[in-house]
Amino acid sequence: MKTFHILTFALASLVSTASLSAHCQVPCGIYGDEMKFGELEQHIETIAKASKSIREIAAKDTLTAQDQQQLIRWTNNKESHAQKIIDETANYFLAQRIKPDADHYADKLEVLHHIIVYSMKSKQSVEDEPVETLSKKVAAFKELYLDHSHEHHTH
């Protein structure tokens, strides 16, 4: 019975922690920009793999119960990683890192908007195009952001 309570507590803790944002909006400096870009790139790889797996399973003439279960799991996984990109874009970059007085402010906002849109499109599709475009937009933002992340206009 004690083991059951420990497992229940661990599961409840995991579920409640998973619903929290990946990073608070306190400027603690723990998370680095390079790490955030690595996470975004990993999410994109996961979405691409999930989309490919969904297409492969769905192409079968008949689906077993296991196939159907795998379709659900890959779909949930793909959508979860796309949502993580949307959340990180909004919570980390838009809310904390992009300052209105930064160089190329409008360009950064535009690319971030594209990242959010193509993350959403990646949720809605299993085709390669939205994921490829998303990857290109993240790469473009990474280059723009890292080249100009610490520059500010002087007035």
pLDDT tens digits for 46-73? 999 999 999 999 999 999 999 999 999 9
User: Which residues, at least 6 apart from 120, have a Cβ–Cβ distance to it below 8 Å?
Assistant: 82, 86
Q: C-alpha angle 101/106/111, rounded to 5°?
A: 130
Return the minimum-mean-pLDDT range out of 25-34, 46-55, 109-118, 142-151. Answer: 25-34
Q: Rounded to the nearest 10 degrees, what angle do helices 128-148 and 33-58 cross at?
A: 180
State yes or no: pLDDT of 81 exceeds 50. Answer: yes
Q: Where are the domains of the chain?
A: 31-148
- What CATH code would you report for 31-148? 1.20.120.400
- SS3 state of residue 152: strand
pLDDT at position 20, please?
A: 42
Q: How far is CA 113 from CA 84, 122, 138, in A?
A: 15, 14, 11
Mean pLDDT of 137-153: 78
State the number of CA atoms in the 13 A half-sphere of 45 facing the CB.
6
Q: In the prediction, which pLDDT does 91 show?
A: 94
* 109 — pLDDT class (breaks 50, 70, 90): very high
pLDDT digits (tens, 9 = 90+) for 92-101: 999 999 999 9
Predicted model pTM: 0.77
